Every structure is written in structure tokens, then in C-alpha cells.
Structure 1
């Protein structure tokens, strides 16, 4: 990798991500560590939601900033030096705008962040500035703009129920895919992208998501349970797309995980990949079907 030429890049660009090996069998990770960290994250989420609901917006913002940091490190492998300062500030701004004001301010904050990235590179140009700006816009969209939909769900009067539904149904995609894939997986879904994913695993994801979605809609919202079936099917599809998209990015960059921040999971982005793509879908289903 070439050395950044701008002085601010030297200060703001973290070391490039490095490949991480993971020898833990068919699961592809240390299952005990993964479960332990997952339980810990779940407890933190529930505590924040029930002790002070709006404090979860801070957790979302922190997760987005950490995700941006990981993505910047990963893109540096391909000599794409994203200006991290405007993107990180924009991440916090987008979550605040989404939580406090809704969809339109979220879009405005996204546009301002993209503009700030371009201006930053005009003030501090370097070879490959076009790629840097494109990388910055990508980081502003994924994860930040998508994460804003979670902040909008939280802002509703029944925000706790919406966030619990969003996270639980999305997590069930991973659980259902893992269980069905390990027990029955024989037909690879996308062998060139993610060899462990199978159509049998995807069917398990749809089943688990539909069950979880139906239960959440009936219990938490007192609405017809059948709304949870299309919700679950859409979440399973989007969660799988998000996981595959993250795999494509990492494969192209030549890395195993975005970081080693979360033992048994990899990095923050390795856990957010499915959630980010599902957030707009869950927001839309709850907004247009449950609120109707």
C-alpha cells in the first residue's frame, strides 16, 4: 500500500485491515465465544431500551462510528483512503437527525456528509482522490444512512417493541440459517461468494424469521399474526443479501473479518451486515402495515 500524501490522512487513516484466520470447523468461528458475546450484546441492548429508551440511539451512533472506522481500515487495503473525520461526524449527525426529526432530515444529513467528504478532499487532495470520495460516500450510505432507519424505529412511541422486533427477527435469520445449514445443507447458494451458505439454510432462515415475526406482531403490537409472515420472509431475504454483500466486499479486499473487535464474531460490521440491510425493510413494514 502506498503511503498517504496528505498530512491529515496520516493522522486520520488507521492501519489497513489484515486477514484473520478462523479454524473453528463448519461453523467458521468459535461458537462458545460467539454465543457469549451475543448474549452480552443482547443484554446491553435490552438494558438500554428498558432503563432509558432513547439511550439506545447513542448505542446506534457508536456502532455506526465503529463500523465506519472498520470500513475505512478495510478500504485502505486497496489504497482507498477515506476521510474518516467527515464520515464519522456525519454518522453521528445522521442518527441524531433520524431519531429526532425523521426521514427528510436523515436524507439531508446524508447529503451534507457526502458534500463534506468531497470538500475535505478538495482542501487536502491526494492521488486517487476520486476513489477516496467514492469510498467516503459508500461509507456514509453503508452503514450510516441505513442505520438511520433503526433510529427512526426507536423514535416511535412503541420504539422498544419495534427495535426488539427488528433485532429478534433478523437474528433469527442467522440462527435458522445456521441450524438448517449444518443439519441439512447440501446445495450451495453462492459458492463463489460464501461457500457455507446453502438453500436449505435459507429455507431455515425464512421459517425461523416467519415464526419470530408472527410472534412479535401478535404479542408486541396486538396485530394480526399473519403480518409477521411477509415481514419474516422479507427479513430473511434481506439478511441473506446483506451477509452476501459483506462477503463480496471482504473477498474483494482480501480480508477475513473487518476487525477482531468482537471475539467469535469478527468486527462490528460483521455483525451489522444483515441488520443494516434489514433496517429499511422492517421500518417500512411496521410503518405501513402495523401503523395502518
Structure 2
């Protein structure tokens, strides 16, 4: 008799664990040995995620331009290294201007653009959703204890995922948002809050070498935005009629399917730690 490998959440659990462990090992090695290489990792991940999202949207008949989003997104990420987060906002605004002109003449100078407002609005959303949010997680590595700040971001999100999955499987009975993500439960959310907050406290004490209450301020807020980020991507995929944004990571889906919680959490982590540390 063959033992099923598909989890209650509909994933190949052994493959998901193996991929997750491998990514975690690479992340720890990079942040420990060559922290600034984090820029390169985020750059590659965001490039793939941008391709995944643009492909899915174009398959859904949305005119989202890939190349301006790819190039503008890369510039938005990289300019924060020498010039800080303010430069990323300038790059973001400049890319919006490029998108406005690009979409205006996408059908040629003699043809009126089709669905201009819809496609331009969606393009700006993709730009803000992916590279702009990712920039906060990238720029954080250049701060004091930057490698540990990034590790805190990743560890708390992973703790939230583990707590939510375990509590959902063991105790999940009350759907959280059945019209968006039927497998998410309130019991799972409570598990995410508990494990995520514990993870944030431990990171505050042993990685950031600061007060335990920093974890109390950071953990619940990160769990809330991580959960919301996951729901947002679930709704986007529901609108497009797809299960995953990609297939690159066995047991996980695509790169974007792993970034949905990390991207909004990057902004929260950057903001909270910048204020409190």
C-alpha cells in the first residue's frame, strides 16, 4: 500500500519540506558568510516572480508589460544599496512614468490603446506588490545587524506558517475566509499567532540582542500581514482560475507562491525594527 504524500493543504509534504529546508540552509549560509549577496538572491527571486505573475496575467488576457516591470523592478531593488530606501521610491515613480508611456503606445502611435486604465493600474499594482515591498526586505540587510534582521523576517514568517499549518490540521474547524481560501481556519490563525510571536521573541533575544517586548510588538503584526498577504495572492489566483503562480518549487508552486507572505512582512519588519532598534 502506497503512503499518500499529499497533505491536508493539498501539497506534496515531503517535497515541500525538502525544498524549504534547502532554501533555509542557503539563506543561513548567505546571510552568515556574505550578507550583501542577499541583494543578488532577492534580485533573482523577484525577476522570476515578476515573470510568473506577468505570464499568468497575460494568460488571463491582461496587458501587463513584462520588460518595463522587470527592469524597473530590478532598478528599484538595487538603488537602495548605495542610496537607501528613498532612491527606491524615486525608481518606483520613474517606472510608473515609463509604464504610462509604454502602455499608451503599446499598439503603435496610430492605434488607440485598449484597456489602458485597467492594464496600467494592474501594472502599477504588480510593481508595488513585488519589487517595492521586496526593497524593504533587501535594504534591511545594510542596516546595523542587517543579516539578523533579515533572518528574523524569514524565521517569524516560517514560524507563522508552521503554527498555522499544525493548528489548522489538528484543530481547524471554523473557516477563516472560505470564499477566498477554504483551507484556512481561525484555529490555524491562532496557531500562527502563538508560534509566530514566540519566534519573534526568541529572535529579539538571541539574534537581535534586544528586549523581549520587541518580539511582542513585531510577532502579531507580522502574522497578520503574512496571513493577509497569503489571502491576497489566493484571491488573485482565484480570479485568474489557477492553483499556483508557477511550478518551479516542488510542493510549493512558484517563487511567487513563497513570497506572498514575505513581501508584506518585509515592510512591517523593516518599519518595526527601524523604529524600535
TM-score by length of 1: 0.89
* Total equivalences in the alignment: 268
For residue 56 of structure 2, what is the aligned residue in structure 1?
Answer: 74
Q: Matched residues in 1 for 2:268 and 2:165: separation?
A: 22
Aligned residues of 2:7 and 2:13 also touching (Cα < 8 A) = no
Structure 1: segments with no counterpart, 5+ residues: 1-22
The 5 Å alignment of 1:85-96 reads 85-96=67-78
For residue 110 of structure 2, what is the aligned residue in structure 1?
Answer: none
Q: Matched residues in 2 for 1:277 and 1:53: separation?
A: 21
Which shows bigger deviation, 162-171 or 114-123?
Answer: 114-123
For residue 97 of structure 1, what is the aligned residue in structure 2?
Answer: 79
Q: Matched residues in 1 for 2:154 and 2:26: separation?
A: 13
For residue 63 of structure 1, what is the aligned residue in structure 2?
Answer: 45
Q: Matched residues in 1 for 2:177 and 2:103: separation?
A: 37
Aligned residues of 1:99 and 1:154 also touching (Cα < 8 A) = no
Which shows bigger deviation, 267-276 or 98-107?
Answer: 98-107
Aligned residues of 2:76 and 2:132 also touching (Cα < 8 A) = yes
For residue 8 of structure 1, what is the aligned residue in structure 2?
Answer: none
| 1:81-135 alpha-carbon deviations (Å, 9 max, x no partner) | 2111111011111111223322211111111111111121233234223332222
Q: Matched residues in 1 for 2:32 and 2:269: separation?
A: 21
Partner SS, residue 71 of structure 1: helix
For residue 54 of structure 1, what is the aligned residue in structure 2?
Answer: 36
Q: Matched residues in 2 for 1:118 and 1:179: separation?
A: 45
Q: Deviation of residue 164 (structure 1)?
A: 0.4
For residue 245 of structure 1, what is the aligned residue in structure 2?
Answer: 232
Q: Which one of 104, 111, 121 corresponds to residue 134 of structure 1?
A: 121
Partner SS, residue 260 of structure 2: helix
Q: Deviation of residue 46 (structure 1)?
A: 1.6
In the TM superposition, structure 1's runs of 4+ consecutive aligned residues that sit over 3 Å from their partners are none
Q: Matched residues in 1 for 2:182 and 2:67: separation?
A: 36
Q: Deviation of residue 269 (structure 1)?
A: 0.8
Structure 2: segments with no counterpart, 5+ residues: 108-112
| 1:182-207 alpha-carbon deviations (Å, 9 max, x no partner) | 01111110011111111110000000
For residue 195 of structure 2, what is the aligned residue in structure 1?
Answer: 208
Q: Deviation of residue 25 (structure 1)?
A: 4.3
Q: Which one of 161, 178, 184 corresponds to residue 191 of structure 1?
A: 178
Q: Matched residues in 2 for 1:79 and 1:134: separation?
A: 14
Q: Deviation of residue 51 (structure 1)?
A: 2.3
Note the aligned Cα RMSD (angstroms).
Answer: 1.3
Aligned residues of 2:196 and 2:219 also touching (Cα < 8 A) = yes
| 1:154-199 alpha-carbon deviations (Å, 9 max, x no partner) | 1113111000000000111110000000011111100111111111
The 5 Å alignment of 1:1-292 reads 24-125=6-107, 126-289=113-276, 291=277
Q: Matched residues in 1 for 2:83 and 2:154: separation?
A: 22
TM-score by length of 2: 0.93
Q: Matched residues in 2 for 1:144 and 1:276: separation?
A: 9
